[in-house]
């Protein structure tokens, strides 16, 4: 972070300890800034992760319990009790879990604590995708053709058909790709609606749906915004997150290779306008679908995003620091003209999954872990050697973020950094990420959000060349005691005869 | 003694023999002089055909994890006894296996029930996505291996249909 930033004045701080209500890489990343600001960092953790890096680095760690590990992080009463126990004056929710739960934000305030996030009203507005769309449309910003179940449930299926195919079903209360389905065929619509309704009801306790026209070959462009409690808003330019699989982002970058300078200005100003209209406070992200020179509002995420580091890498602005300053009641530390982008940044998400086997999640011990280093390389990781990767939590293990002067330099650095990312014991998608970075479509900046689903061959790892097979089998055979012992038990002469028999 | 190793879903048979200070790897028609020096923290140096290659290696039971030239690989050593022990009972064609680890959301069939091709038998959830496991042919349910709320690993049997006549 190169830019000087006004610190929270020590005397004016409304809190000196921040409870981080999250885990994994984001808990550690938030903790780093909290401690850099001279504040104390407390984290909650499930018993299964008592050894995690964030727990070790925290000034205070508090165990939480639940029916499942995830359930523990979704329990507002327990999180607030932990904050009191740690003497924390503020709670940072990170992303996921309770980060976009208005009830939690209200409960935090009612407990006399500061919620490091937007107002509950803003969370509610943007969390209800139907209301959010209507709000954005009312303020004159573009949205895609759609049908909303709530407006007249009896005619919903008919109105959904009228939107036209392909269409996208979304849970009204959803986000992050959960429960979303593309339907290309009218005959499949009733069953897909039933499935989406069931998923929505289970994940969000709300089975209401809406459908919208699915833009073919769309690009996902989002804009980082910051707003303070005085109503000031700036944008920190866009990120492109078009490399996705089933709505899950895999690689993100900034600037977007898809936008002209005029389009960039238009989309960034629209995002800032939406945030301003909502009197948005905190860091937030306005997401758009972009295709054929047009962009439509998708949703606004009222939290820190997984991919926030690419913005930090090119602007030099620490978004967590800004969140904490805004939560402390300070005005924005910058004007729009102070925000400058230098270079190009790419983030690659390292997942515990097997691309060659349909991206099934993988699990296993972290036997050896070596993280890449070097010029322009940042790694946000939440794992350490000796831990076990399980399927109890999200499969994202770490993020490799690089910056270069140009997109090609960033791409080359990302490729090299992923080659230096060593995790033995649990399969990851690192090799797949390297193939993606090398793919001509990505090199040309021509990837749309359906690209990976349309090109499953990229996921299938090419078979190792014969000389590589020989090396790997030799290492394996020589590393296994029983194989070595069997070889050493045979006298050389017989071994030679054995070879002839082969 | 021959050994079976699986690498990238392909099985390889090999034979390792002592040769002077090192070993000889017999693979297909090739006999390749090899040796491996293992250092600290998983570092290893392979000598093969006179060339040296640096790798990181970690052994976990019969799995050997290897990082070599920027890529990670896992080689599995198949125990010769276990290798031929799978062929009892139902054939793989009669079993619906879990495509990935997950949790059972609903079970729509019971043992002895007749199902038609396309009937939903079990609904599972893995990584945010609900998937209906459907009957892939007409048949009779021989066994339901899971119950609602139960977690399972990849390749776990979910439902077995009675073998076709």
Per-residue pLDDT tens over the stretch A162-217: 988 889 998 887 766 677 889 999 999 999 999 998 888 887 778 889 898 888 78
- pLDDT per residue over A10-41, tens digit each? 456 799 999 999 999 999 999 999 999 999 99
Measuring CA to CA, how many Å separate A11 from each of A7, A44, A51, B25, B38?
11, 27, 35, 71, 57
- Which residue in the set A479, A491, A496 is minimally distant from B64, CB to CB? A479
Would you list the domain boundaries of chain A? Answer: 10-118, 119-142+217-342, 145-213, 343-455
pLDDT (tens digit per residue) in A245-263: 878 899 999 999 999 999 9
Q: What chain B residue is nearest to A424 in terms of C-alpha separation?
A: B65
Tell me whether the CATH fold assigned to A119-142+217-342 matches the one assigned to A343-455: yes
pLDDT band for B86, please (50, 70, 90 cuts). very low
pLDDT band of residue B132 (cuts 50, 70, 90) is confident
- Interface-testing mutation among A467, A471, A494, with chain B (most B C-beta atoms within 10 A): A471
pTM of the model: 0.81
pLDDT bucket at B124, cuts 50 / 70 / 90: confident
- Show the domains of chain B with their CATH numbers: 3-78 (3.30.700.30), 80-161 (2.40.50.100)
- In angstroms, the Cα distances linking A454 to A216, A273, A348 are 12, 35, 20
- B160: helix, coil or strand? strand
Q: Is the dihedral of CA A155, A157, A160, A164 positive or negative?
A: negative
Residues of chain A in contact with residue B26, where contact means CB-CB under 8 angstroms, are 499, 502
Check residue B136 and give its pLDDT: 85
pLDDT in tens, B48-78: 988 999 999 999 989 999 999 999 999 999 8
User: For A373-387, what is the mean pLDDT?
Assistant: 95
Which pLDDT score, from 0 to 100, does residue A87 have?
Answer: 97
The span from the CA of A393 to the CA of B126, in Å, is: 11
pLDDT of residue B130: 78
Question: What ipTM, to 2 d.p.?
Answer: 0.84
Residues A289-301 have pLDDT tens digits of 998 788 999 999 9
Higher pLDDT, A117 or B130: A117
* Residue A377 burial (C-beta neighbours within 10 Å; 0-12, 13-18, 19+): middle
CB contact B66 to A (< 8 Å): yes
Given an 8 Å threshold on Cβ–Cβ distance, is B56 in contact with A370? yes
B36 near A CB under 8 A: yes
Domain A145-213 coded CATH 3.30.1490.20: yes
- CB-based burial of residue A184 (10 Å sphere; 0-12 exposed, 13-18 middle, 19+ buried)? exposed
Contact call for residues A86 and A64 (beta carbons, < 8 A): no
Contact at 8 Å (CB) between A458 and A435?
Answer: yes
Q: Does the domain made of A343-455 have the CATH classification 3.30.470.20?
A: yes
Q: What percent of chain A has pLDDT over 90?
A: 75
Q: What is the pLDDT of residue A1?
A: 43
Kindly report the average pLDDT of chain A as a whole number: 92
Question: Phi, psi at residue A74, to the nearest 5°?
Answer: -105, 15
Fold of A10-118: Rossmann fold (3.40.50)
Q: Which of A43-57, B23-37, B90-104 has the lowest mean pLDDT?
A: B90-104
Averaged pLDDT, A89-101: 97
SS3 of A238-300: EEEEEEEECCEEEEEEECCCCCCHHHHHHHHHHHHHHHHHCCCCEEEEEEEEEECCEEEEEEE
Residue A8, token pair as written in the block:
């929270």
C-beta separation of A381 from A371 below 8 A: yes
CATH architecture, range A119-142+217-342: 2-Layer Sandwich (3.30)
């Amino acid at each position: 972070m190169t830019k000087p930033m006004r610190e929270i004045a020590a005397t004016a701080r409304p809190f000196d300890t921040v409870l981080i209500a999250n885990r994994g890489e984001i808990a550690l990343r938030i903790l780093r800034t909290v401690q850099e600001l001279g504040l104390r960092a407390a984290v909650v953790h499930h018993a299964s992760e008592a050894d995690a890096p964030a727990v070790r680095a925290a000034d205070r760690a508090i165990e939480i319990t639940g029916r499942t590990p995830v359930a523990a992080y979704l329990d507002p009463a327990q999180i607030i009790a932990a904050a009191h126990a740690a003497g924390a004056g503020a709670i940072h929710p990170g992303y996921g879990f309770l980060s976009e739960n208005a009830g939690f934000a209200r409960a935090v305030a009612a407990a006399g604590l500061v919620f490091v996030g937007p107002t509950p009203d803003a969370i509610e507005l943007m969390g209800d995708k139907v209301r959010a769309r209507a709000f954005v449309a009312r303020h004159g910003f573009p949205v895609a053709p759609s049908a909303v179940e709530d407006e007249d449930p009896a005619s919903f299926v008919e109105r959904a058909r009228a939107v036209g195919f392909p269409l996208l079903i979304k849970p009204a209360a959803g986000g992050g790709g959960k429960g979303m389905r593309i339907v290309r065929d009218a005959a499949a619509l009733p069953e897909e609606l039933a499935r989406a309704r069931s998923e929505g009801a289970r994940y969000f306790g709300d089975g209401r749906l809406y459908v919208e026209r699915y833009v073919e070959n769309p690009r996902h462009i989002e804009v980082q915004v910051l707003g303070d409690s005085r109503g000031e808003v700036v944008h920190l330019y866009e990120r492109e997150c078009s490399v996705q699989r089933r709505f899950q982002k895999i690689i993100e970058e900034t600037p977007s290779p898809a936008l002209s300078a005029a389009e960039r200005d238009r989309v960034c100003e629209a995002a800032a306008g939406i945030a301003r209209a909502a009197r948005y406070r905190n860091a937030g992200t306005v997401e758009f679908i972009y295709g054929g020179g047009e962009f439509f509002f998708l949703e606004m995420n009222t939290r820190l995003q997984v991919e926030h580091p690419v913005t930090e890498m090119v602007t030099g602005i620490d978004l967590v620091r800004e969140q904490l300053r805004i939560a402390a009641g300070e005005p924005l530390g910058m004007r729009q003209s102070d925000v400058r982008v230098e270079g190009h940044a790419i983030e690659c998400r390292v997942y515990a999954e097997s691309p060659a086997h349909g991206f099934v999640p993988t699990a296993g011990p972290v036997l050896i872990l070596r993280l890449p280093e070097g010029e322009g390389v940042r790694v946000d990781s939440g794992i350490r050697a000796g831990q076990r990767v399980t399927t109890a939590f999200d499969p994202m293990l770490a993020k490799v973020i690089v910056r270069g002067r140009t997109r090609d330099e960033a791409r080359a650095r990302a490729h090299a950094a992923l080659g230096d990312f060593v995790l033995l014991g649990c399969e990851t998608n690192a090799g797949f990420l390297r193939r993606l970075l090398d793919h001509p479509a990505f090199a040309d900046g021509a990837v749309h959000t359906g690209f990976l689903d349309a090109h499953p061959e990229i996921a299938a790892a090419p078979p190792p060349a014969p000389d590589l097979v020989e090396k790997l089998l030799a290492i394996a055979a020589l590393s296994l005691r029983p194989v070595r012992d069997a070889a050493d038990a045979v006298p050389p002469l017989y071994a030679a005869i054995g070879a002839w028999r082969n | 003694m021959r050994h079976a190793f699986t690498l990238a879903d392909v099985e390889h048979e090999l034979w390792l023999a002592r040769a002077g200070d090192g070993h000889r790897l017999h693979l297909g028609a090739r006999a390749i002089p090899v040796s491996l020096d293992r250092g600290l923290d998983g570092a290893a140096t392979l000598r093969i055909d006179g060339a040296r290659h640096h790798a990181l290696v970690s052994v976990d039971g019969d799995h050997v994890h290897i990082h070599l030239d920027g890529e990670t690989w896992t080689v599995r050593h198949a125990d010769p006894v276990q290798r031929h022990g799978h062929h009892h009972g139902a054939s793989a064609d009669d079993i619906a296996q879990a495509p990935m680890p997950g949790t059972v959301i609903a079970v729509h069939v019971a043992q002895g029930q007749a199902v038609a091709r396309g009937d939903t038998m079990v609904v599972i959830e893995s990584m945010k996505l609900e998937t209906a496991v459907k009957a892939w042919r007409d048949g009779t349910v021989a066994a339901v291996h899971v119950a609602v709320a139960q977690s399972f690993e990849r390749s776990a049997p979910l439902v077995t249909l009675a073998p076709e006549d």
